Amino acid sequence: MDAASQRVLEYLTEVEEAAEDVLTTKQQIVDLDSKRNRNREALNALKNEMSDSEKVKVCFGNMFIKFPKLKTREMIQRDQEQLDKEINELRTTLKTKVNRLNEIQGKPELRGYNLSPLSSGEIKAVNSLLKR
């Protein structure tokens, strides 16, 4: 194989690896988000049923265990917080991976893609300015 075809092959391999990395990260976000939705459903079911002193059955792997309702709710809420953190981290890394893929392909960087939401303090400051 001559040098030109070798460079083309290396380029295509690099693009394919970067694209696969982007798709894998997107799928991880989707999977974590579906788990987060199932947790949200479980929290709503716990809120709508029985008193807090009763026990509920919780599935761990392939077995059910009776747990106090309050402890179960706390456990699910901690899991929700961890899932939110992981999803936000993946979304942040996804932005850099997409920019890297575009860079490899010679495309310009996406505009407005690195925006982040205003913090609660910034929103309060903007609202106070608008009320004047």
* Ranges of each domain in the chain: 3-108
1-10, pLDDT tens digit by residue? 788 888 989 9
Q: What is the pLDDT of residue 110?
A: 73
Confirm whether pTM is higher than 0.85.
Answer: no
Is the confidence at residue 52, as pLDDT, over 70?
no
Residue with more model confidence, 51 or 104: 104
Most confident of 11-15, 25-29, 40-44, 116-120: 25-29
pLDDT-based confidence at 76, cuts 50/70/90?
A: very high
For residue 53 the two structure tokens come to 């002193």
Give the separation between CA 70 and CA 47, rounded to whole angstroms.
Answer: 10
What CATH number belongs to 3-108?
1.10.287.370
DSSP-based three-state secondary structure for 67: strand
Nearest alpha carbon to residue 66 among 48, 78, 50, 82: 50
Residue 113, CA distances (Å) to 55, 70, 73, 76 in order = 46, 40, 36, 32
Average pLDDT for residues 95-101, to the nearest whole number? 90
